[in-house]
Amino acid sequence: MKDTELEGSYQLNGSADIVMLKVTVGFGQLAQTSVSIDAVPLVTEQANEDGNYENSFEIPLGTNADLAGKHLSILPAVAIIQEDEHRTSVQIELVGSDAPSDFRLLKEDQSKRGDVVDYSGQIDLLGA
């Protein structure tokens, strides 16, 4: 698996509590991120006209009970815009169940300004 790919799981508790997704893009770079649950795009009022989320954001995914057994896909495309910083990072956080989950992805390479680094977060949402 590449350092820009994540495969993981998040344990839900079966409650009516809302699970929140927070995506943080690091190093002052810009991003466009698509989010889907079971291959259905998740578009809230925070999404742009293309259905993507820009840069860092936080959105509700649904209740613990409703999300059990589903698959969450997070696909950030990070553009390197900084003149002197060529690293990119994406932090994916899930909160709302018994234990928060924090996934960090970092790409350190010789990318240059104008390049786009594609990340992939694939998370199974496990029922109680």
Quote the tokens at residue 123: 């998370």
- pTM, two decimals, is 0.94
Walk me through the domains of the chain, giving residue ranges and CATH numbers: 5-126 (2.60.60)
The pLDDT score that the predictor gives to residue 107 is 85
| pLDDT for residue 118 is more than 90 | yes
The pLDDT score that the predictor gives to residue 13 is 97
Give the percent of the chain with pLDDT over 70. 98
Distance CA 59, CA 57 (A): 7
User: Is there a contact between 96 and 19 (Cβ–Cβ < 8 Å)?
Assistant: yes
The pLDDT score that the predictor gives to residue 1 is 65
How confident is the model over 38-42, as a mean pLDDT? 97
The pLDDT score that the predictor gives to residue 59 is 98
11-26 pLDDT tens trace = 999 999 999 999 999 9
100-116 pLDDT tens trace = 899 998 887 767 899 99
User: Is there a contact between 120 and 103 (Cβ–Cβ < 8 Å)?
Assistant: no
The pLDDT score that the predictor gives to residue 62 is 98
- Between strands 53-54 and 5-11, the pairing is unpaired
The pLDDT score that the predictor gives to residue 86 is 85
Average pLDDT value for the chain? 94
3 state SS of 65? helix
